[in-house]
Amino acid sequence: MNAMDIYEILKYLPHRYPFILVDRVVSYEPGERIIAVKNVSINEPYFVGHFPHYPVMPGVLIVEALAQAAALLTLKTENAAKNDAQVYYFVGIDGVRFKKPVMAGDQLVLKVEITRQIKGVWKYTARAEVDDQLVTEAQLMCTARDI
């Protein structure tokens, strides 16, 4: 079983605090799937304003966490390290559904599978779960572009 700690994750993703949204990779199979974790702490900077009386993780950040997991899967699939001359962009997000709020104290489990790759565009099926319950699902499309 392949796994990654935060130190290895930081070797692959360009994101840094407060925008690194993957704390650990539990397992991955290059070319297939990844399971990663985001521990949602009350200390997250967005909870100051979203919402102070009811700390809910913004849905767009859940989707971003899924995209970061997808990027890790793609980079591991291509056996490519972080490249400061490239950025990994969204090119499409379809069918996003938010089923349940993610609260401070939750552990967000990110599950992403590659569904296809054509001409440098990767498509994924992604789902986020808390306590084995679906909280968010989406179809993601991403690509790397030189900067």
Query: Hey, what amino acid is at 80?
Result: A
- Interval 49-99: pLDDT, tens: 999 899 999 999 999 999 999 999 999 999 887 788 888 899 999 999 999
Asked if 110 and 87 count as a contact pair (C-beta separation under 8 A), the reply is: no
Residue 1 has pLDDT above 80, yes or no: no
**Residue 36: its H or E element:** strand 33-39
- Determine whether 50 is an active site residue: yes
- Catalytic, out of 15, 24, 33, 50: 50
Q: Tell me the three state secondary structure of residue 66.
A: helix
Total Cβ atoms within 10 A of residue 101: 14
Condensed to tens digits (0 to 9), the pLDDT of residues 24-55 reads 999 999 999 999 999 999 999 999 999 989 99
Token representation of residue 131: 């306590």
In this prediction, residue 132 carries a pLDDT of: 98
